[in-house]
């Protein structure tokens, strides 16, 4: 059975998702504390969000903090939360000005005081943006998100479209990029990436630039996406 999920129209641009990995190793290689890598990583977010629409990306989902990242030392977690707070405070105006709609996905009930409110303010202030939908995943676990969505829908409401809607999926992921050299999903967008093309790069996230994103898009464009069917060119014409 062909689901409409597998045939999402393309006119709104690609949905690219990025597992922004390698900040800590980038910093360690320079003799810097891990936090310096995270600060440099925020600059990469700004760079990538600015150029993404020009490369045909309509939705960009970035993995900033996983639900498993709470396992890190309190000092590192605290630093990441401070960076999130500063990003929301410092970037909202620019995001609104550049037509970027910001959404934050993931749990909000475990975030430090004030951050859920700052997220809500940033989302409201950028709601009219139609150039890029920038989604940032914070305290995010794809397995938890799927479980919560299924529980909300109940057995009667369960369907592919229903679950996608309940996840706020904003369409399937077309291209999933992971920086930092690891080749794993780390509980990111497991449902939405069912037919995503995967692109792994050794580049550490703070070093990831416009040219790297362009390379990933070019790689994606050269892929033959079959969705379980056959490449039209490979099917011989009927005699
Ligand atoms: C990604 O970089 C950012 C977060 C997970 C918050 P890491 O902090 O995982 O960097 P590495 O993988 O240790 O180099
Ligand atoms: C995945 O990176 C999470 C984010 C990039 C936010 P991790 O560095 O936490 O993933 P693992 O531990 O290497 O799988
Ligand atoms: Mg990592």
Let me know if residue 238 belongs to a domain: no
Let me know if residue 230 belongs to a domain: no
> Nearest 5°: CA angle at 176, between 171 and 182?
150
Residues paired with 63 in a beta bridge = 19, 137
Span from the CA of 37 to the centroid of ligand 3 (angstroms): 11
Let me know if residue 101 belongs to a domain: yes
Within the chain, where are the H helices? 23-28, 34-51, 74-97, 115-125, 142-157, 160-167, 210-221
Let me know if residue 2 belongs to a domain: no
Let me know if residue 225 belongs to a domain: no
For residues 142 and 144, give the distance between their C-alpha atoms in angstroms, rounded to a whole number.
5
Q: Can you say whether the dihedral through the CA atoms of 210, 215, 221, 225 is positive or negative?
A: negative
- φ, ψ of residue 15 to 5 degrees: the values are -100, 110
Tens-binned pLDDT, residue by residue, of the chain (239 aa)? 334 444 433 337 999 999 999 999 999 999 999 999 999 999 999 999 999 999 999 999 999 999 999 999 999 999 999 999 999 999 999 999 999 999 999 999 999 999 999 999 999 999 999 999 999 999 999 999 999 999 999 999 999 999 999 998 788 999 999 999 999 999 999 999 999 999 999 999 999 999 999 999 999 999 999 999 998 776 666 54
Considering every ligand atom, which ligand is closest to the CA of 76? Answer: 1
For residues 30 and 239, give the distance between their C-alpha atoms in angstroms, rounded to a whole number.
65
Domain with residue 188: its CATH number is: 3.40.1180.10
Domain range enclosing 176: 10-220
Let me know if residue 237 belongs to a domain: no
Let me know if residue 231 belongs to a domain: no
pTM of the complete model? 0.94
Best residue among 34, 62, 66, 137 to mutate for probing ligand 2's pocket (most ligand atoms within 8 Å of CB) is 66
For residues 181 and 202, give the distance between their C-alpha atoms in angstroms, rounded to a whole number.
4
Domain count, the chain: 1
Give the number of the atom of ligand 2 that is nearest the alpha carbon of residue 24. Answer: 8
């Amino acid at each position: 059975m062909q689901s409409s999920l597998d045939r999402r129209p393309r006119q709104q641009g690609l949905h690219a998702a990025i597992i922004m990995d390698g900040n800590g190793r980038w910093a360690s290689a320079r003799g810097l504390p891990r936090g310096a890598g995270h600060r440099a990583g925020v600059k990469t977010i700004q760079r990538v969000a600015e150029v993404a629409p020009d490369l045909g990306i309509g939705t960009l989902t970035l993995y900033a903090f996983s639900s498993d990242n709470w396992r890190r030392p309190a000092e590192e977690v605290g630093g990441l939360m401070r960076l999130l707070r500063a990003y929301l405070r410092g970037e909202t105006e620019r995001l609104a000005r550049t037509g970027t709609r910001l959404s934050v996905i993931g749990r909000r009930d475990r975030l430090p005081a004030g951050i859920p409110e700052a997220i809500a303010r940033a989302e409201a202030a950028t709601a009219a943006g139609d150039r890029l939908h920038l989604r940032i995943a914070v305290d995010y676990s794809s397995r938890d998100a799927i479980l919560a969505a299924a529980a909300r829908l109940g057995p009667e409401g369960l369907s592919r479209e229903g679950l996608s809607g309940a996840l706020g999926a904003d369409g399937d992921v077309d291209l999933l990029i992971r920086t930092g050299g690891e080749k794993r999903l780390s509980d990111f967008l497991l449902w939405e990436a069912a037919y995503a093309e995967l692109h792994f790069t050794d580049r550490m996230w703070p070093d990831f630039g416009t040219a790297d994103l362009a390379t990933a898009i070019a790689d994606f464009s050269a892929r033959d996406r079959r969705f379980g069917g056959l490449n039209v060119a490979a099917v011989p014409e009927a005699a």
